[in-house]
Structures are given as C-alpha cells and as structure tokens.
A and B are shown apart, each in its own frame.
Chain A
C-alpha cells in the first residue's frame, strides 16, 4: 500500500459527460501529481500541485482541470468527455524536497 488513495477505482461514462477523480496523498506529502496512461501513450504528466497551488502543467487538455484543497486532497475534473479520454488516471504524491513519488492505484476511466 503506497498510502495514496484514489477514488473511484473504475468509472464508466458516456461521451460529453463530466467526471471528477479524487486523490488523497500520503500523510504529510505536499505535492500531488496527475498522470494519464493510455494504451499507446505511456504515462503522460498532466499537472502538479504543491500545497494548494498549481506548480507545473504538462499535456493537460483545456477540458481538464484540477485543484488541491486545504486538506491537500486533489481532484481532477474531466469534462466534455471523448472516447479518446478512456485511460488509466494516476495520482502520485511526494514530500517536501523529496521527489520520490508514490502512486495511487489509479482510476480506470472508460468513455462509451
């Protein structure tokens, strides 16, 4: 158990819909990262938050947004979903000045 909790584990939704994925980092970790893993794209970095503030952006679509709350949990919002958004979405966390990242079990999103 990495200590990073993601919910839900599985999500099936229709095109055009909006979903929210949730992540609770390891106790004490201030950094949260979101990654997308598609079959043919590997693990793509989406966005990073540090102590509530956005720190870095990767290949995140405009239809996607995220935030980190004062209790340090994070949510990734995916809207106007397309079939191509079907993927495994991972959250990871790391501590202060330490970039060893620990990953949650992922949310498997299927858009039908």
Chain B
C-alpha cells in the first residue's frame, strides 16, 4: 500500500514563530487532507487539497501532486496550535480510504 511520511516528527516553537510541516507520499493520490488533532483528541479538518495552494487565516497548504508531497505552513504560531498534525491521502482505484501518516507533534510555548 501507499506510504505516507511526515516530517518532522516533533516540533517545539515559541509563540509567534513560523513553521513548515511536510507530507511525502509514495504513489499517486487522488486526494489529500490535513488534520489537526487537538490535545483533547479531536480531529479537525484543516484542508482538503489534492493539488494547488489554499489558505485559511494563519494556515496555508500546498500540494504538488506530481512530486508527491504536501506542505502545511503555520505562521505566527499560537499556543492553541499545539497538537498533532496529520496528513491523509486517498489512493487511486476508488477505494476512498484515507491513509494517514504518523503525524507531526507540535508544541507551542508562550
């Protein structure tokens, strides 16, 4: 099956810093999503981004499907950004099953 690798595995920032999280995948994908799992365990949809660039406030994401990677940018980080960020991809073939990476654990200190 498809391999999804996220980097870095862990990230510690001071409030106000910027960061870039990366998601590499081993095969073509139909779709890609970014999620934030907050400290209470809830999985929150950030972006549905099979290709191109999207922005939502301080967060933006870019997927380059031909090169098999996606980037999540967090600017001016806040303590509420802490948690784990996952990317999930859908393999071609109509399975419609999101396959998750292991995530990037982010801690933002005040």
Contacts and interface: CB of A to CB of B under 8 A. Distances in A.
A27 B50 CA distance: 24
A94 B96 contact: yes
Interface residues of A, number: 23
A43 B41 CA distance: 12
A31 B35 contact: no
Given A99-B30, A101-B33, A103-B35, A45 B43 contact: no
A107 B47 CA distance: 24
Contacts of B48: 100
Contact of B45 (A56, A102, A105, A108): A102
B96 A99 contact: yes
Interface in A17-76: 31, 33, 35, 42-43, 45, 48, 55-56, 58
A42 B41 contact: no
Nearest to A48: B97
A101 B96 CA distance: 9
B97 A33 contact: yes
B33 to A, nearest CB: 6
Contacts of A48: 96-97
Contacts of A33: 97-98
B41 A106 contact: yes
A99 B90 contact: yes
A106 B97 contact: no
Given A33-B98, A106-B43, 7 more contacts: A42-B103, A43-B88, A92-B98, A99-B30, A99-B96, A103-B35, A108-B41
